[in-house]
Chain A
């Protein structure tokens, strides 16, 4: 070890307390930076992996194309993988509940089998064209139970592809029927293809030989995802334009899209957090160094007087920084990465429960991020050293020779009023603070930072709880089941069948069903909202009207301010060009919607200009409901069942066994509440933990500054004592000092903290309405605690000096 590193090392060893405090500061910072990097990287990687599983490992998808086009892609340099699948044909197949008319046979080549959204629950992939995979969804709905190895005999209506209009358009045509006996080799989770198919289940077999006549589907995985856009645009200029689509989810997580999305938002938050962490680190390390340097000005002066040059002084301070970094970086890395490693499972489970799409967060680590963390820390350490180095270089040998290492004296003027008000002790305190403003600057910054963090963190925690509590949690039910509107939505008859099956489950205490759709009143050609009802809320509604359920099985209640038909008459409604005659048992002008929808405290309002009809589901089931299947915009159609169950978690599992989760949404409020609370608990632990560590560092920092400053004033204290200043007067002076700079720091911190807190509130409020939280209790606690820390630090140092 050369002399410079020896001096640096020995200094750190001599000031163990400060060395430990500073190291903890850097460790926490490294841990936080690596935590943020690793968490984001793990999350993004997991999203890529999840997307590969749930959508497929490809960038571009081309459907209904000729086999010759498909094979051409295989020769392209840019492409990593080309997956080809062909539709063989379809067979009629009747199942228990669903209205799907048959099973379609798709043959996947090796690449497709491994790179599309095939997720095996049981069994294995098919090895030839006589083996098939079927979905658990189909298995659950089959009339007779099947298992792996069972045979499935199908009359397959084969198809061929005819291309016309210069390859721009194509049509599928029948190509003969063949009886095929398939062996079931595996049961898979429902593929997206099956979920979006309105009329067929999908069975997947192995593509052994590409047949020219059959329609082809191609999936393309490019070597470089960033080249996807150019490739896609090129394809859009060909005849294939109508058949090309992108795997936008995979492209998003692989960072191939430029627009602002979830990935870039996450990265932005990550970068902002890292900037805050780095800024705090720099302030903390710099502060610690500055104290260390100011205490050692005499040493630096001595070194300079015996011939140490600027370069050597710089090296000593830098070496100290490097030693700190060497000690702290590995520990911080292990901590930060370790936390992600151990928490990915926990957090993964929570997210999985919330998103219900098998989101699986896997731990992943990237060497580049580890290097980036190390570089960022080294850079922050270096930046922290710049000012202390400048100070150390300024050390004057003459001051050392003269033994004049006290605080430089400066004439501080004090007004007579102030002087009278403060007394001699206050005047001394005031002058002391005024004459070395810079020395107190670091303490002020430390206190302010802690105050700002306390306000921000307590605000964030409060807002998180607020978001959790604001999530709509109804009191009169715990499970909602409803149709998911959109392309390929479930048939209304199937939804009714699903509802009927749910009604029979054991744990149901009560339920309400509301089917909402539109019709036209024949008499005046006006649009009317129709509510098909069943269950508790409907009964309650009928009770209010003084009706019995039995009376309304075949009749309706007409809601209008000017009913064109009266009680006992018939209302003629036209739906999808069909006419329905509904006998009216009662008319009313009160809108029943809120009551029938299951609002906690429904407000009964006048119906206004609208006209509505309430009927029982017995009638609704006989109507060919306009489910807006052909409409582009959802307006008036919904099918919802609201359930109060004695065992909601079990019921949810049971429901998911027979409904198609891609078409029917099942919302379990109990679970949502638990999940949300778990997330807020994890966040609180993390944020409070962070706050605690930063506060501890801050307190050490305050203590160090005060001790250092008081030691420099030792001689001054001795003089004051010698001329008769009593302990009581000293105490009074110290109290004034604590109040003077403590309060200043706290006021600055509080103001900045409140501003930032309000900023965060404004951002979050845009997403969810919540009350503004002013952390008054925390501010008061901080005020008292800070003044106490300052006072105790002063007292302890004073007592030590007394002992000396």
Chain B
């Protein structure tokens, strides 16, 4: 495996339901991702893009196939090791932000590193908060923030542990166009500034085009995989 390959997906299949009533969500999907790539995964509703993201993030198990992140087969890990792996190597961003309502902006961002008992680098944290544009909101609770601001907190939370991979599932799905642009811009900045590998699931072609590479999924299969420089 080449050194700059951060993610390797081999024959990934996910089938829901039983024999009589089965749905193939993902059908033998294989692809590689290089470190620092910004990838969009697009497809129609029900095409399997979110399922792919869940399998890559280790929150769901494949029916068959493997996912290697930094050369580790994540689905062969024990539940506890997988938790630790997710904490350290994967940042998840959701459509509905999923912040803890009882914790303020700073606490929500710090949550993964605190769960990992990491020492906090205040300078780095402040830098991140400034990049996120949340400098004057650190002590606010999620319900005191706009949708865009909440999503920025979620991005901060995903970035805090310098994960190998950021998986964003429709992060702009719940936002107005202005906020959506800001979020995508932020993801691009983190991709450039921190050399962060990002996989973004979206059905918005305009947003998808902002990525270096666009993977199109249909009926659980990759039907198109285009890198920008190939275009």
Contact = CB atoms under 8 A, between A and B. Distances in A.
B79 to A, nearest CB: 7
A305 B94 CA distance: 10
Contact of B79 (A299, A306, A309, A397): A309
Contacts of B18: none
Interface stretch (B1-9, B68-76, B98-106, B222-230): B98-106
Contact of B86 (A14, A298, A299, A307): A307
B21 to A, nearest CB: 13
Interface string A390-405: 0000001110111100
Interface residues of A, number: 29
A3 B84 CA distance: 16
B157 interface: yes
Contacts of B107: 6
Interface in A300-322: 301-312
Contacts of B111: 3, 303, 306
B83 A308 contact: yes
A306 B86 contact: yes
Contacts, number: 82
A7 interface: yes
Interface of A: 2-3, 6-7, 10-11, 13-14, 298-299, 301-312, 396-398, 400-403
Contacts of B116: 307
SS of B interface (majority): helix
Interface in B107-142: 107, 110-112, 114-116
Nearest to A313: B83
Contacts of B94: 400-401
Nearest to B170: A401
SS of A interface (majority): helix
B170 to A, nearest CB: 10
B59 A398 contact: yes
Interface of B: 50, 54, 57, 59-60, 79-80, 83-88, 90, 92, 94-96, 98-103, 107, 110-112, 114-116, 157, 169
B114 A306 contact: no
A308 B60 CA distance: 15
Nearest to B57: A305
A397 B100 CA distance: 14
Contacts of B98: 298, 301-302, 305, 400-401
A310 B94 CA distance: 22
A306 B115 contact: yes
B92 A305 contact: yes
A311 B80 contact: yes
Contacts of B84: 307, 309
A304 B122 CA distance: 25
15 contacts: A2-B114, A3-B111, A6-B107, A7-B102, A10-B103, A302-B99, A305-B57, A306-B87, A307-B88, A307-B112, A308-B83, A308-B87, A312-B115, A401-B94, A401-B95
A403 B83 contact: no
Contacts of B169: 401
Given A3-B110, A6-B107, A401-B50, 9 more contacts: A14-B101, A14-B102, A305-B92, A306-B115, A307-B83, A307-B87, A397-B54, A401-B92, A402-B50
A6 B110 CA distance: 13
